[in-house]
Structure 1
Amino acid sequence: MTVDLDVAVVGAGIGGLAAATGLAEAGLSVRVFEAADRVGGRMASFRRAGYTVDEGAEQLSTRGYRATWELIRRAGIRRDEVPPIGKRVAVWREGVAHPGLSEPGAVLTGAGLSKRARIDLVRFLAAIRDPRRFDADRPEWTPIGTRTVADYARGFHPDLHDYLFQAVAGCFFGWDTGRSAMAPFACLLREIGPASCWVTYRDGMDTLARRLAGNLDVVTGRAVREVVGGTDLARVVFDDETVTARSVLLCVPAPVAARLYVNAPEADAEFLAACAFRPMLKVSCFLDRPLAVKTSRPAYVLLTPSAEEDVLSGLVIDHEKHPERAPAGAGLVSLLASPRVVPELFDAADDDVVQALVDSGERFAPGLAGATVRNFVHRFRHGLPEATPEALRLRAGFAARPIGTVDYAGDWVLLRPSSEGAVRSAATTVSRVLSRLDSVRGAA
């Protein structure tokens, strides 16, 4: 059978582009196939009328993102292109926005937590301080086991769940704390550091993806129908042709990988089935003036816990995140739907989604509706990996799987819902592919 490529990569999110970069730098012929008309996946951005909108991911950290920063340097992105946000995260409680939730001083200032809850916050931070027991690349190793966030939180003051764990998990990950495992969440909280460490890409969160794609063979608007693994080669099947490759990388969400890989090994299929994803729904509001959430110190994110709010999980004040997200004198606000309402709103008409989220947003940012000149709805059916207890139980076995002609990269591989998770998994997959191809060539 004719071989078209050394490696075919399915998916041009950050995981797929990182893997393709590593393999291309090793001298292999690599092509990336992306169903959408742009690269970036859940880190995509779009630009219109002077606004830059991050459709999915919002920020990264100077802590806990070692592989991402290495890739940023390799891509030639300067440090001033990834500036600090410099604003705080606030949480809404009883009609007041309390800033400083993710800062060390929260144990003193409260940041929405009661005095008794602050004592338990100290207990929690002490419990997760050991990086050897709370390794974000191996969450299955933690002493927490497979307990859910809600179950683990029962050992602490209720505020810790209602105004910290649920607020953060619901807004940033879209998680239902009764379904998602605590271990990956605790590892992430330990690793990424306070909001003072958080940064964003000056020109949009897709900056790294666009820079990597510019040096690769990427075909957008090319949907894969199925992938078939073989002993020596694998096939990528489209509606109009079939491409053969020595290796195929599925760099797409686990449910998509499960659908495409028609003859996946049973062990792979079991883990893929356990890796559920949470849908994400977001509305961007172009404003004719900058609005702000009223707080004692400037905040760029307001978390709205489910104990206080049904429709929203949070607001991102994008022009506070970085001033170039909106034209001078204008503003940009993103409204994130609560995990509770996403299932019923996800397939609703755009107008209905906008009305529901903007009406709720008015409570936290008065004048929002009147200042809005245009809205955009962003949907990710596969938003972020849910990190279920079952997936956590199966992860070690999946990590030890044999190397075949079809492999994977993505944040779900590590149950680490972040761009760092995707980049780290890509680095591991590059090593696996090169190891296999070198052994094949050696045998030949």
Structure 2
Amino acid sequence: MSPDLDVAVVGAGIAGLTAAFELQRAGLQVRVYEAAEQVGGRMATARTHGFQVDTGAEQISPRGYQATWELLHRLGLRASDVPPIGRPMSVWRDGEPRSGFASARGLLTGAGLSPRARLELLRLGESVDADHPERSALGGTTVAEFARSHHRDLHDYLLQPAASFFFWDTARSSAAALLGLQRAVGDAAAWRTYRDGMDVPCLRMAACLDVRTGQPVREVVDDGSGARLRIGDDVVSARQVLLCVPAPIAAELHANPPAEEAEFLGACTFTCALKVGLPLDAPLELPGRPYLLVTPRAEEDVLAGVVFDDVKNPACVPPGKGLLTAYTNTGTTRELFAAGDDEVTSRVAAAVSRYLPGFTHRGGLVHRHRNALPECTPAALAALPRFRTRPIGPVDYAGDWTILRPHSEGAVRTAALAASRTLSRLGSPLPV
């Protein structure tokens, strides 16, 4: 009996949609299954009462995102659709925000680093290939271990706060992965955001694809020549299945992965994330008007950072209003992840008030990601080379975790690779 589809894609985040988009352009019959009621995954945007809240990813870079910019061009998005943020990041130290975090200007302003630490930063000299962090001599070294041989400020006011962008614990995640990512994306002063929400490219692609939202896949079985998907009480067959979901979910779904895949799926752990949008009756800002305040663990027990969304993207709020998004540090995330929205909002708002005394907000929009980003541990890096060289089978994968490059560029790049692998295996589409 012939299969129902050429390709079934599981997951309607940017990886799954990009893979489906490219395969459909090549003439294959493709269908996307998404467990949630909306597309976007970790690039989803919530829209309510005129406020636009990016629930996961916040920005992209003009550097190190080549595959993403090529995709945006194919989707008809222009530079004006992804405007520059144009404002700095600040890091909190000793009771005040220090401007220039993660940018070249930080060497002049200090950005929370002492003069001695800045000199040591210039001599750091660690060059890591962001596409192959496993090849670095630092692949088996955690961020915390790497930092021990350097000035304490480099961990407390640079490496740890930078790791918090990925919701990483520096005692678990690889120094090679973090240094490679920082090198790839460059100066934060040049970063951009999507004017109409981070999910814009996902919405563009979904509009021209067969996407079934609210349909969780329960199991995927490789039958040798193709694969079967169990979706509720139904079984769908496909010549190829692409699992474009986080590694822990892929491991649960794939009933019979080969050994080299199972090893990496088991090693590739993910962090969880907790973000709270706080609508305001009027904008609030800090000296220097940063769009993001980083709050290091050396200074703050609850938060990892606060995004001033109306500074980052004025189009995300109604006229005259303001919006903050606060995200918690790893310890608080574990503590509050299962708590009710009211408790989460109360704890987070109390922490924000330490930096913005007297601020009031109109409720809270709580967003949880159980599988936010790959941790990029030394164990995962060690298992990655064998996974990279896996043969092309009826079940394949795409997502930032498949190359341990935890951002949307990693997702888009691996989606293009998965599409290429699929085409090389399937060749021509099913007869209509």
Q: Report the TM-score range of the alignment, normalised by the length of the smaller protein.
A: over 0.9
Quick one: which amino acid aligns to residue 78 of structure 1? R
CA-CA distance at 1:195 after TM superposition: 1.6
- 1:325-344 correspondence runs (5 A): 325-344=316-335
**Residues 245-293 of structure 1: CA distance to partner in whole angstroms, max 9, x if unpaired?**
000000000000000001111221110011100000011001000011x
- Equivalent residue in structure 1 for 2:155, among 157, 161, 165: 161
Distance (Å, rounded) in 1 between the aligned partners of 2:349 and 2:219: 40
Which SS does the other structure have where 2:362 is aligned? strand
* 2:173 is the counterpart of 1:174: no
* 2:229 is the counterpart of 1:240: no
CA-CA distance at 1:366 after TM superposition: 2.0
- 1:164-313 correspondence runs (5 A): 164-170=158-164, 172-292=165-285, 294-295=286-287, 297-313=288-304
> Is residue 87–residue 195 contact of structure 1 (8 Å, CA) maintained in 2?
no
* 2:114 is the counterpart of 1:114: yes
CA-CA distance at 1:137 after TM superposition: 1.6
> Is residue 29–residue 429 contact of structure 2 (8 Å, CA) maintained in 1?
no
Partner residue of 2:409?
A: 420
- 1:363-378 correspondence runs (5 A): 363-368=354-359, 370=360, 372-378=361-367
Which SS does the other structure have where 2:426 is aligned? helix
CA-CA distance at 1:145 after TM superposition: 2.4
Distance (Å, rounded) in 2 between the aligned partners of 1:55 and 1:27: 33
Partner residue of 1:431?
A: 420
Partner residue of 1:85?
A: 85
Distance (Å, rounded) in 2 between the aligned partners of 1:430 and 1:238: 23
> Is residue 278–residue 383 contact of structure 1 (8 Å, CA) maintained in 2?
yes
Quick one: which amino acid aligns to residue 61 of structure 1? S
- Equivalent residue in structure 2 for 1:148, among 142, 153, 157: 142
Between 1:136-145 and 1:254-263, the stretch displaced more is 136-145
TM-score relative to the length of structure 1: 0.95
* 2:2 is the counterpart of 1:11: no
Aligned residues: 430
Which SS does the other structure have where 1:341 is aligned? helix
TM-score relative to the length of structure 2: 0.98
- 1:388-427 correspondence runs (5 A): 388-427=377-416
Distance (Å, rounded) in 2 between the aligned partners of 1:319 and 1:110: 26
Distance (Å, rounded) in 1 between the aligned partners of 2:397 and 2:278: 36
CA-CA distance at 1:298 after TM superposition: 2.1
Query: Which 4+ runs in 1 deviate beyond 6 A?
Result: none
CA distance 1:85–1:352, shift in 2 (3 Å):
same
CA-CA distance at 1:4 after TM superposition: 0.5
Quick one: which amino acid aligns to residue 327 of structure 1? P
* 2:30 is the counterpart of 1:30: yes
Distance (Å, rounded) in 2 between the aligned partners of 1:216 and 1:185: 35
Quick one: which amino acid aligns to residue 149 of structure 1? V
CA-CA distance at 1:367 after TM superposition: 2.5
* 2:39 is the counterpart of 1:39: yes
Partner residue of 1:51?
A: 51
Quick one: which amino acid aligns to residue 190 of structure 2? C
Which SS does the other structure have where 1:351 is aligned? helix
* 2:136 is the counterpart of 1:137: no
Distance (Å, rounded) in 1 between the aligned partners of 2:290 and 2:64: 22
Distance (Å, rounded) in 1 between the aligned partners of 2:82 and 2:158: 27
> Is residue 410–residue 425 contact of structure 1 (8 Å, CA) maintained in 2?
yes
**Residues 197-216 of structure 1: CA distance to partner in whole angstroms, max 9, x if unpaired?**
10000000001110111111
Which SS does the other structure have where 1:90 is aligned? strand
> Is residue 8–residue 241 contact of structure 2 (8 Å, CA) maintained in 1?
yes
Distance (Å, rounded) in 2 between the aligned partners of 1:103 and 1:271: 34
> Is residue 19–residue 416 contact of structure 2 (8 Å, CA) maintained in 1?
yes
CA-CA distance at 1:384 after TM superposition: 0.7
Root mean square deviation of aligned Cα: 1.2
> Is residue 31–residue 216 contact of structure 1 (8 Å, CA) maintained in 2?
yes
Distance (Å, rounded) in 1 between the aligned partners of 2:129 and 2:210: 34
CA-CA distance at 1:158 after TM superposition: 0.6
CA-CA distance at 1:439 after TM superposition: 9.4
> Is residue 306–residue 327 contact of structure 2 (8 Å, CA) maintained in 1?
yes
